[in-house]
């Protein structure tokens, strides 16, 4: 290709002399058309370059670059000084972040494509972050995390990232292209990363994979037909991981846990929230219902469903309850491991008479003597069902 823009082969060059051809006010911004194709306009899923333009002694910010039918246009929030010659300084922090994000996107998409039958959909790359949508087959989180590890490995291996210009007719299945691209252009620029990936692309890229520095997936959103992955690279990715780690580390001293157990700690927190909600419902229920004591043939039957309780707190509660009349008391603490206590007061039979068979039938274990029986169940799927079956069985035995 005769005139290759410098941002493809020499993306780290930031300063250029430019000729201003036309200035136009559009809304509150100014569009400054330049003659030279030396700054990357937005397009192909990538944001435009930013920077500053100096004309004579006055410098204005360039907030975006766009491509119009008659050339490259710099967008500024300020009116430029009159003049035909200027010096353009590209914002290299923004540019280099885009380069890192774009090359990382090629790596991620190519690695996942080798594992799954997917196509690249919407793509967005700017100096803050990158995102890519993969269409087709469902991609499990583990596959995405494996791909992240492979991207990090390729960064470490410092592979060259090269631009080549090929005849569109020579493009075969070893080169990733968007549909219709080979028909639209006679020649295509192909970005090749070592042996890993070749992809037709007009974006800007780092020259070696190690320039990406670091790569971290921040979010994965899925629906039936697409997976949307958001990521960051470089120092920004390192900073992000460090902030999250330190957020957990800070809490480690007030609530002792090992960092490797963070997942289990979060699971426990989720469980605690669910239990709290159940407890609140229980308290509301207790406060609004007049009496939870059922009368059967002159015997009181009181049963309480107590989320958040364990075998120990159940015993404490059972020991504090007294009755001068005949009463059967069932206390039930639900959970994957459920616990129960049955206590009888002034009853003709011992506690185990009213409960031991039912506990066995529901798959639990337990024992006790005289007025107290305690038992439990493991791997309970539906504690409410277990509780209701126990109540029905006790009601039957009291009635006899």
80 binds Zn ion (CB under 5 A): no
In the complex with Zn ion, the residue whose CB is nearer, 203 or 300, is 203
In the complex with Zn ion, the residue whose CB is nearer, 190 or 394, is 190
The token duo for 292 is 């939870």
Three-class secondary structure of residue 327 per DSSP: strand
Parallel, antiparallel, or unpaired for β 327-333 and 299-305?
A: parallel
Restricting to residues 278-317, which ones interact with Zn ion according to CB under 5 A? none
Give the per-residue contact string, 5-44, with Zn ion (x = CB under 5 A; - = no).
----------------------------------------
Three-class secondary structure of residue 66 per DSSP: strand
In the complex with Zn ion, the residue whose CB is nearer, 147 or 351, is 147
**HSE-up (13 A, CA, CB side) for residue 389:** 14
- Cβ(366)–Cβ(374) below 8 Å: yes
Taking the complex as a whole, the smallest distance from the CB of residue 204 to Zn ion amounts, in Å, to: 9
In the complex with Zn ion, the residue whose CB is nearer, 29 or 163, is 163
The token duo for 243 is 């902030």
**Percentage helix, strand, coil for the chain under 3-state DSSP, each rounded to 5:** 35, 35, 30
Nearest position to Zn ion, beta carbon: 201
Taking the complex as a whole, the smallest distance from the CB of residue 45 to Zn ion amounts, in Å, to: 7
Taking the complex as a whole, the smallest distance from the CB of residue 276 to Zn ion amounts, in Å, to: 48
Q: Among 188, 201, 212, 342, which residue sits at the site for Zn ion (rule: CB under 5 A)?
A: 201
Three-class secondary structure of residue 285 per DSSP: helix
In the complex with Zn ion, the residue whose CB is nearer, 201 or 212, is 201
Three-class secondary structure of residue 360 per DSSP: helix
Piece of 160-168, 196-204, 206-214, 307-315 that binds Zn ion (CB under 5 A): 196-204
Applying CB under 5 A, the site for Zn ion has a residue count of 2
Taking the complex as a whole, the smallest distance from the CB of residue 109 to Zn ion amounts, in Å, to: 9
Cα–Cα distance measured from residue 119 to residue 321, given in angstroms and rounded to the nearest whole number:
66
In the complex with Zn ion, the residue whose CB is nearer, 201 or 344, is 201
Question: CB under 8 Å to 152, separation ≥6 — which residues?
Answer: 214, 215
Angle between helices 234-252 and 92-115 (to 10 degrees): 80
In the complex with Zn ion, the residue whose CB is nearer, 205 or 339, is 205
**Maximum pairwise Cα distance, the chain:** 108
Q: Among 203, 307, 334, 375, which residue sits at the site for Zn ion (rule: CB under 5 A)?
A: 203
Give the per-residue contact string, 208-247, with Zn ion (x = CB under 5 A; - = no).
----------------------------------------
The token duo for 11 is 């993306």
Taking the complex as a whole, the smallest distance from the CB of residue 206 to Zn ion amounts, in Å, to: 12
In the complex with Zn ion, the residue whose CB is nearer, 198 or 374, is 198
Give the H or E element holding residue 6.
helix 6-9
Q: Report the interface residues with Zn ion, using CB under 5 A.
A: 201, 203
């Amino acid at each position: 290709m005769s005139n290759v823009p410098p941002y493809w082969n020499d993306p780290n060059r930031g300063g250029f002399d430019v000729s201003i051809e036309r200035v136009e006010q559009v809304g509150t911004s100014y569009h400054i058309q330049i003659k030279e194709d030396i700054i990357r306009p937005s397009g192909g899923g990538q944001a435009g370059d930013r920077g500053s333009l100096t004309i004579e002694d006055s410098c204005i910010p360039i907030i975006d670059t766009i491509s119009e039918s008659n050339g490259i246009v710099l967008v500024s929030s300020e009116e430029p000084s009159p003049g035909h010659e200027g010096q353009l300084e590209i914002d290299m922090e923004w540019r280099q972040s885009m380069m890192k994000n774009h090359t990382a996107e090629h790596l991620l998409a190519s690695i996942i494509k080798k594992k799954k039958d997917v196509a690249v959909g919407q793509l967005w790359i700017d100096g803050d972050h990158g995102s890519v949508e993969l269409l087709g087959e469902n991609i499990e989180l583990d596959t995405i995390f494996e791909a992240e590890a492979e991207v990090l490995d390729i960064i470490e291996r410092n592979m060259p990232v090269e631009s080549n210009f090929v005849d569109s007719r020579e493009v075969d299945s070893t080169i990733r292209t968007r549909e219709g691209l080979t028909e639209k252009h006679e020649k295509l620029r192909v970005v090749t990363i070592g042996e890993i990936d070749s992809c037709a692309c007009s974006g800007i890229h780092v020259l070696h994979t190690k320039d990406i520095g670091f790569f971290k997936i921040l979010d994965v959103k899925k629906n039936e037909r697409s997976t949307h992955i958001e990521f960051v690279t470089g120092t920004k990715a390192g900073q992000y991981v460090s902030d999250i780690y330190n957020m957990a580390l800070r809490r480690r001293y007030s609530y002792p846990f090992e960092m490797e157990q963070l997942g289990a700690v979060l699971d426990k927190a989720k469980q605690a929230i669910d239990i709290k909600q159940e407890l609140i419902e229980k308290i509301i229920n207790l406060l609004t219902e007049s009496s939870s004591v059922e009368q059967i043939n002159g015997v009181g039957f009181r049963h309480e469903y107590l989320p958040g309780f364990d075998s120990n707190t159940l015993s404490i509660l059972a020991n504090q309850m007294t009755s001068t009349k005949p009463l059967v008391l069932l206390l039930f603490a639900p959970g994957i491991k459920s616990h129960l206590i049955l206590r009888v007061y002034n009853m003709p039979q011992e506690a185990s008479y009213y409960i031991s068979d039912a506990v066995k039938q529901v798959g639990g274990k337990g024992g006790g003597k005289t007025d107290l029986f305690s038992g439990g169940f493991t791997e309970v799927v539906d504690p409410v069902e277990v509780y209701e079956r126990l109540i029905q069985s006790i009601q039957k035995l009291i009635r006899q």
